[in-house]
Structure 1
Amino acid sequence: MSNKDQIDRLFEELEGQLDLHDTPQGHQARFMSRLNQQQGKPAKNKRNWWKPLSIAAGFLVLISLGISVLEPEDNSAELASVSPEMEQAESFFVTTINEELATLKGFETEETKAIIDDALTRLDLLEQNYDQLKVDLKESGNDKRVINAMIANFQDRIELLQEVIQTIEQIETLKANRNETTI
């Protein structure tokens, strides 16, 4: 069905309901004069809402930049900030801990899940202690006691991981020996 047919059908349905009166005389002239008067003036109904919105957005950007500049910096110092030797030591400890963690996760089974979860919880506590030691290091001005405590913390984490790995290996060895004797 074409558009013309639809329009014709619409007019047929609305026949007798449409207002067929002529417009009053001079209507077009009054309309044109009002239109010409308002051409130079902005319409009262239209508001320029985008101007205040853009100003507010600009202020928002300035405030967020100000907050990011005034935000306090991290009050902690890494062990690597003390000396190049400490940087190497920290790198060694972090690498060793990551390797031990990977080994530990390789042993994860249903039987060992509880042991591993407990070890990871204890490891988190040691990491929280280390974060406090970093703050203490900055506040103390690289005090040797704090540096020694940081190194001891790394060593404690490595020992914890190694002990848990050893325990899991012993459990697996015992299970393997029981299975051999029952066969």
Structure 2
Amino acid sequence: MEDKWKDIIGQNKEKFQQEFTLPNGHEDRFMSKLKEQNKQQQKVQINYWKVAAIFIPIAMLATYFFLEFSPTTNETLENDRILAAYSPDLNEAENHFSYIVQQKIEEVKALETPDNRLFIDHSMTSLNELQKDYNRLLIDLKESGGNAQVVRSILQNLQFQVELLENVLTQIESIQNLKTKQNETI
């Protein structure tokens, strides 16, 4: 429809100009303003749906590949093989401590509230440092060829992880009990 009107006006331009007299340069000024307006509209037109449609799948794929091919998972499997190579008892002890640590982590996360979130985050940072030390000890064990002192250090590190999580749980429960008592007295 728009093209038909454009054609009609274009064919009858001289008739319109004879009927309606316009000031000199009016058409040029109008066309320049129209061009400026079209440029501004072209700059502003960003289709956010298209950007989101591209960005979301890319983010999902990146997350999938990061989680699927994370080097920490491969390191853990390799470390399990290191312990099993030196002693089945050591491997069993490590599995036992790892299971306890995982249970305690789940308990801590279940007790997380906005009030104790900072304390839990700090505790998890400490736990991550112990885990890094544990991984370094495993490398030392591999390099030392099964040194008994390194084996004791590995077991001690695992005990520290369990103790840290038990202390965190005890402190969280103490804080909750204290708040409950304060609320009861109020």
TM-score range, shorter chain: 0.5 to 0.7
Does residue 1:86 correspond to 2:90, yes or no?
yes
Choose which of 125, 137, 142 in structure 2 pairs with 1:133. Answer: 137
How far off its partner does 1:99 sit? 0.2
Choose which of 81, 93, 105 in structure 2 pairs with 1:101. Answer: 105
Where structure 2 has 5 or more consecutive residues not aligned to the other structure, the ranges are 1-74
Where structure 1 has 5 or more consecutive residues not aligned to the other structure, the ranges are 1-73
SS at match of 2:168: helix
CA distance in 2: counterparts of 1:97 and 1:162, whole angstroms: 9
Does residue 1:123 correspond to 2:107, yes or no?
no
How far off its partner does 1:180 sit? 1.0
Contact 1:107 1:168 in 2 (8 A): yes
- Richer in helix (by share): 2
Contact 1:133 1:149 in 2 (8 A): yes
CA distance in 2: counterparts of 1:178 and 1:81, whole angstroms: 54
How far off its partner does 1:80 sit? 2.9
Residues 7-30 of structure 1, C-alpha deviations (whole Å, 9 max, x = no match): xxxxxxxxxxxxxxxxxxxxxxxx
Summarize the alignment of residues 41-52 of structure 1 with structure 2, pairs less than 5 Å apart.
none
How far off its partner does 1:86 sit? 1.1
How many residue pairs get matched? 110
Aligned-CA RMSD value:
1.8
CA distance in 1: counterparts of 2:126 and 2:177, whole angstroms: 25
1:29: which partner in 2?
none
SS at match of 1:109: coil
Does residue 1:162 correspond to 2:166, yes or no?
yes
Summarize the alignment of residues 56-71 of structure 1 with structure 2, pairs less than 5 Å apart.
none
CA distance in 1: counterparts of 2:167 and 2:181, whole angstroms: 21
How far off its partner does 1:78 sit? 3.2
Does residue 1:178 correspond to 2:178, yes or no?
no
Larger radius of gyration: 1
SS at match of 1:78: helix
Q: Which consecutive segments of 4 or more residues in structure 1 shift more than 6 A? A: none
Residues 123-182 of structure 1, C-alpha deviations (whole Å, 9 max, x = no match): 111111111101100110100000000000000000000101100000000000111111
Identity %: 35
1:147: which partner in 2?
151
TM-score, length-scaled by structure 1: 0.57
1:39: which partner in 2?
none
Contact 1:79 1:147 in 2 (8 A): no
TM-score, length-scaled by structure 2: 0.56
